[in-house]
Structures are given as C-alpha cells and as structure tokens.
C-alpha cells in the first residue's frame, strides 16, 4: 500500500466528506451503466443523511475510510451477521476513486471491513473489475441476480465466500 495512504475507522465528522466522495466514486463506477440524467439527479443531501445515520448507529464500527494525506479517497462498509436477518457479514459497499486503484487500498478496505469472515455482497453484473477483485478474495457467484428498479433497472449479481483461515 502507498505509504501516504491509510485506512482507518470512519468517524461521525467524516460524514460530509463521505457524502461527496460517495457520489464521486459512484459516478466513476457507474457512468457506463446509468444515464447522465440519472447521475445528474443524484444529490449529496441523501448521501449525507445516510452517512450521518450510519456513523451514529450501531454499525458505525464496521465502516472504514481510505485517506491519502488528509483527503478521503475511498470507503468500505459492512453489516455484521444478525440473527434472523443475515447469516453472514454483508459488504454493503466498497468504493475507491479510480485515481487510487492499484495501490492496495481496495484490499486494505476489504480486509478492514470484513477481515476473513464469511461474507456476501451484491455487485453490478457489468462490473468485471470489481468481480475479479472479489474472486481474488475468495468470493464466488451464488446464482442470485436482481435488478435495482430505482437505478434504471441496473442488474446486480450475488457473490459470497466462506470463511478463510
């Protein structure tokens, strides 16, 4: 990992920066999958409310950021297993600015968010880079597929992995 970059636990005071970063990463990741109009309608207010709730809630200890110097450049978050809800950890999101790909930060974020735990995740069906990253980390396709109607019918596929030693 680049010596100027580090991964740390997200803090409530990161919420505003995370809201902006979330949209920037999202636009980079999904620009080829979602229309320019859809992207233009995305606003920081909704992301800010989400991050404030997440960082003040019971799962705050499972949300991590990657920083380059003092600037946030990526994040990852998970939800722990929960009786009757999730049988394994769920990686709900991992995003990194394209300018920071290939530096080991994605791996560091994944390791911080879920470690070696059994985990599941949803990934865009047309995101081969992310799918290859997850496969390198022991995830396999489960056969489940879904579409997110609110995201112009974006198709996503389910991946999961058993625990690793």
Give the model confidence (pLDDT) of 81-140 as tens digits.
886 778 899 999 999 999 999 999 999 999 999 998 999 999 999 999 999 999 999 999
Helix (H) or strand (E) segment spanning residue 105: helix 105-114
| Residues 99, 77: Cα–Cα separation, whole Å | 20
Q: What is the tens place of the pLDDT at every residue in 6-47?
A: 999 999 999 999 999 999 999 999 999 999 999 999 889 989
Q: With contact defined as beta carbons under 8 Å apart, do 139 and 160 qualify?
A: yes
User: What is the model's pTM?
Assistant: 0.91
Beta bridge partners of 120: 90, 160
**For the CA atoms of the chain, what is the radius of gyration?**
15
Q: Which helix (H) or strand (E) holds 5?
A: strand 5-9
- 2 has pLDDT over 90: no
Helix, strand, coil in percent for the chain, rounding step 5: 40, 30, 30
CATH number, domain 5-116, options 1.10.10.10, 3.40.630.30, 3.40.50.10440, 3.30.420.40? 3.40.630.30
């Amino acid at each position: 990992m680049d010596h100027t970059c580090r991964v740390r636990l997200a803090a409530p005071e990161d919420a505003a920066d995370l809201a902006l970063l979330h949209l920037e990463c999202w636009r980079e990741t999904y620009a080829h999958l979602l229309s320019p109009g859809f992207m233009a309608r995305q606003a920081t207010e909704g992301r800010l409310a989400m991050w404030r709730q997440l960082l003040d809630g019971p799962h705050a200890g499972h949300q991590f950021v990657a920083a380059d110097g003092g600037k946030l450049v990526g994040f990852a978050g998970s939800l722990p297993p929960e009786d009757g809800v999730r049988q394994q950890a769920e990686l709900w999101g991992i995003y990194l600015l394209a300018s920071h790909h290939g530096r080991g930060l994605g791996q560091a974020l994944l390791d911080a968010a879920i470690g070696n735990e059994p985990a599941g995740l949803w990934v865009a069906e047309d995101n081969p880079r992310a799918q290859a990253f997850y496969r390198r980390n022991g995830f396999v396709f489960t056969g489940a597929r879904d579409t997110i109607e609110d995201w112009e019918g974006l198709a996503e596929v389910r991946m999961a992995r058993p625990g690793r030693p």
